[in-house]
Amino acid sequence: MTEKVYNFDLNGRYQLLAQASYTKANDSEYVKLVWELKSLIEQNLVQLALDGCPPNFPEILKMFQLELDRFEAFCVFPYLAQKNVIGVGGAFSAGKSSFLNTLLGRKKLVVQVDPTTSVPTYLMSGDQEKSTAINIFNREINLSEEDFLSFTHEEYEQFGSEVSGLLKSVVIQDISFKWNNLVLLDTPGYTNTDEQFSSERTDAKVAFSQLNTAHFIIWVVSATNGTISDEDLNFLSELNPSIPKLIILSRADLKPKEDLASIKKLILELTQKRGIEVLDVIFSSARKRKEYPLDQVENLLGEWNEVKRPVLFAQHFKKLFLQYDRYLDEQLRLAQMQINRINRIATLSDIPEILNDVDSLKFMIQEKFRQVLCSKETLTILQKQFFDQLNCIGKKVGIPLPEPDEIELIKVRHVDLVPALKEILVEQAMHLTQKHSKWELLSIDMPIPNTQKLLRQTPKNTQPIWSNLMA
């Protein structure tokens, strides 16, 4: 068997590998502050949890860590913060990169069937053509086009080294990118199992994490199988159901056009059965673009481009702190209830032995109360330190992130009073004889049920409940 020979710049490859492997901590001030934020959560909050924590504390801690990772990426690439992220996912070699290149009208990503893109890649508008990567040690690396195109699953075979395994993500800025408020995220194929770096950073885990942070998802399915696979359905069902999803049937030209409608129908039926809501199934072909235009996709992207995306790091962190705080409030309430009950029990007996037991029990619960109260005070101090740091970092990258008030997190829901008023009219057997305006509905004279109870009045035909006691 003849071994493949590849021509490449050995010195350039060594320099790229050296940059990707560079572990020295970034000495910028905001990086130090981010590290302090992580320390507050992973050390101080974990230490506090030893004295009592919510049952779902592991989940709270995981959400803190994920949000801190996203915040760290935001600090490195602050221009991504207020953009709408469109995550593009699918199986290994499903045609994701080909679809994106077709959509963009130019070749920006690796499109070979095998190898395929192995690093999560953000595509966005920019003032100049620029490619930047961030390594697993949070160092920023400038890339050439040749560097980026080498990040494939055949990288190790081709170059004898794997730089992509040392990278978290790549950002490609393109002057021709026409959606200023959108970012297209190309994720690795989740079904690839040929990993040189078999760790937590598998393609499946990377894709899942990246897609779950997206605001919209485009899922690519190859038409060659004539349906959507069980693996695809399983993966989609695990993603956040609130994220809108669009399915692209790639390589549509490989199937007779008369079969495409039935394939689309089948995919919609299968996703519906699994409880996966999808906006639509749209056909795509990189080879026959004119026969399979992507006008529907472009229209959707145009709509998503109009959505204003606020920076919600502070709100997300506040909600996590509130989960812990409300647990402590509930523990305080329960402890106080127990103390009140013990006090009532103490009034029912004058036997010294019983009273001693009651006092011992009361002492234990009071100690628990003091412990929980101390935890709450510590959490308050920890929370203030956290948000002071967060706001400081936000100011350095140009987006202030002050601690939100709890009332800011309350979602105000619009309520239409007119249908409710009409229901009351029906209950009161009051029939409208003329067309009433909304304001007239509010002024209709209707009897108020339970008026006497509300006003604490006793009807004349009934005796007060205490009358028998006065006889």
Mean pLDDT within 153-180: 76
Q: Which residue has the higher pLDDT, 76 or 56?
A: 56
What class is the 83-305 domain?
alpha beta
Tell me 117's DSSP state. Answer: B
Label residue 114 by pLDDT band (50, 70, 90). Answer: very low
Q: Which residue has the higher pLDDT, 244 or 161?
A: 244
Tokens of 20: 């990707």
Label residue 342 by pLDDT band (50, 70, 90). Answer: confident
Tokens of 85: 């992220």
| Every domain of the chain and the residues it spans | 83-305, 417-457
Mean pLDDT within 289-317: 89
The pLDDT of residue 414 = 63
The pLDDT of residue 116 = 43
The pLDDT of residue 1 = 38
Residue 167 predicted with pLDDT over 50: yes
The pLDDT of residue 330 = 94
Residue 260 predicted with pLDDT over 70: yes
Residue carrying structure tokens 């190790």: 156
Please give the mean pLDDT across all residues of the chain. Answer: 79
Q: Which residue has the higher pLDDT, 204 or 83?
A: 83
Burial pattern 422-440, b for ≥16 Cβ within 10 A else e, equals: eeebeeeeeeeeeebeeee
- Residue 236: name the closest of 271, 281, 280, 273 by CA: 271
Tell me 79's DSSP state. Answer: G
Label residue 160 by pLDDT band (50, 70, 90). Answer: low
Mean pLDDT within 47-66: 91
Label residue 80 by pLDDT band (50, 70, 90). Answer: confident
Highest mean pLDDT among 8-22, 130-144, 228-242: 228-242
Identity of the amino acid at 420: A
Residue 149 predicted with pLDDT over 80: no
Mean pLDDT within 317-343: 92
The pLDDT of residue 315 = 92
Mean pLDDT within 121-147: 80
Residue carrying structure tokens 């199937």: 255
Label residue 112 by pLDDT band (50, 70, 90). Answer: very low
DSSP string, 430-458: ----SPPPHHHHHT---PPTTHHHHTT--
For 3-52, what is each residue's pLDDT tens digit?
Answer: 444 455 677 777 777 777 776 655 556 677 888 899 999 999 999 999 88
For 420-464, what is each residue's pLDDT tens digit?
Answer: 667 766 666 665 555 555 556 556 666 666 666 556 555 555 555
| Size of the chain in residues | 471
The Cα-based distances of 463 to 391, 458, 467 in angstroms read: 65, 8, 7
Mean pLDDT within 271-297: 91
Tokens of 225: 């199988």
The pLDDT of residue 268 = 94
Mean pLDDT within 219-228: 91
The pLDDT of residue 450 = 62
Tell me 253's DSSP state. Answer: G
| 405 three-class SS | coil
User: Which residues touch 4 (CB under 8 Å, ≥6 apart)?
Assistant: 157, 158
The pLDDT of residue 195 = 46
Residue 170 · residue 121 · CB < 8 Å: yes
The pLDDT of residue 347 = 81
User: Which residues touch 435 (CB under 8 Å, ≥6 apart)?
Assistant: none
Task: For residue 400, count other CB atoms closer than 10 A to its CB.
Answer: 12
Output Rg (C-alpha) for the chain, integer angstroms: 31
3-state secondary structure 320-334: HHHHHHHHHHHHHHH
The Cα-based distances of 225 to 282, 288, 401 in angstroms read: 16, 19, 48
The pLDDT of residue 29 = 64
